[in-house]
Amino acid sequence: MHALETNARIELREKAQGLTESYDQLPAEDVLKHAIKTLFPGRIGLVSSFGTEAAVLLHMVSRIDPYVPVIFLETGMHFPETLQYREDLVSRLGLCNIQTVRPRPASVKADDPDGILHQSNTDLCCHVRKTLPMLAALRGLDCWITGRKRGQAATRSELELFETQDRWLKVNPLLDWTADDVTAYFKAHDLPDHPLKERGYLSVGCLPCTRAVKPGEDARAGRWADSEKTECGIHFVDGKMVRGGS
């Protein structure tokens, strides 16, 4: 049973299913072209962390339409290397519509006045610093692009090309890409690696909650290590935050 079932939600899920059936055999860049140019012109954006694999979608979008909104959630806790990487990629790719979104100062003051909320309640920290600002940034859009992939974590193993979240559609054009696919794309298009990658950070989030990956661990093992949390909470399924677990 889906939370808050309404005719609008049912119709949106049916639309997502139909789009998946229509486009799931196309290469990722063709999916993006259709989504940006035909399906949601002027009503689609890319939510990007500017992490270790982010340059793939950023490059694709820049070649299709550099004015597509790119939403960057500035939590106030990013690695300095991520912020510099963002500036370097924006300049290199000629992206023209970067929307840097920050949490409301009043919310941070109320819930995390000392900047240590992540030590006691990572879910609330992510909610205040990521989820709420992102929802506000998405208000003018009908669809948002994500870089999630089925092979990244158990919580992502059943991703579909198009899916729904609240009133939005989401498209996951890289859902079947492997690490080798990403590496090949970087090489083919001479894209720079995130500066932390060579230090073992294969997935980069906020500084306090990210560590380098140890040999034999999967790429996201360094995110919220030693806890059950595997997702920041900006993605929901059936009205419930995707948090982690098996």
Per-residue pLDDT reduced to its tens digit, 171-199: 999 999 999 999 999 999 999 999 999 99
Rg (the chain; Cα; Å): 17
Mean pLDDT of the 112-137 span:
92
Residues within the annotated binding site for [4Fe-4S] cluster? 125-126, 206, 209
Q: Which letter does DSSP use for residue 242 in this model?
A: -
Q: What separation in angstroms does the CA of 204 have from each of 17, 79, 184?
A: 31, 8, 20
Q: What separation in angstroms does the CA of 161 have from each of 25, 189, 231?
A: 10, 24, 19
Lowest-pLDDT choice from 13-17, 158-162, 207-211, 236-240: 236-240
Question: How many Å apart are CA 191 and CA 92, to the nearest integer?
Answer: 9
Residue 238 has pLDDT above 90, yes or no: no
Per cent of the chain over pLDDT 70 is: 87
State the pLDDT at residue 242: 45
Q: What is the mean pLDDT of the chain?
A: 88
Mean pLDDT of the 50-77 span:
97
Q: 35, 4, 39, 43: which is closest to 166 by C-alpha?
A: 4
Q: What is the dihedral of CA 21, 25, 28, 33, to 10 degrees?
A: -60
State the pLDDT at residue 229: 64
Domains, the chain, ordered by start: 7-241 (3.40.50.620)
Per cent of the chain over pLDDT 90 is: 72
State the pLDDT at residue 220: 75
Question: 181: how many CB neighbours lie within 10 A of its CB?
Answer: 16
**232 noted as active-site residue:** yes
Residue 141 has pLDDT above 90, yes or no: yes
State the pLDDT at residue 22: 97
State the pLDDT at residue 153: 56
State the pLDDT at residue 246: 24
Among residues 232, 235, 242, 243, which one is catalytic? Answer: 232
pLDDT, tens only, 224-237: 776 666 555 555 54
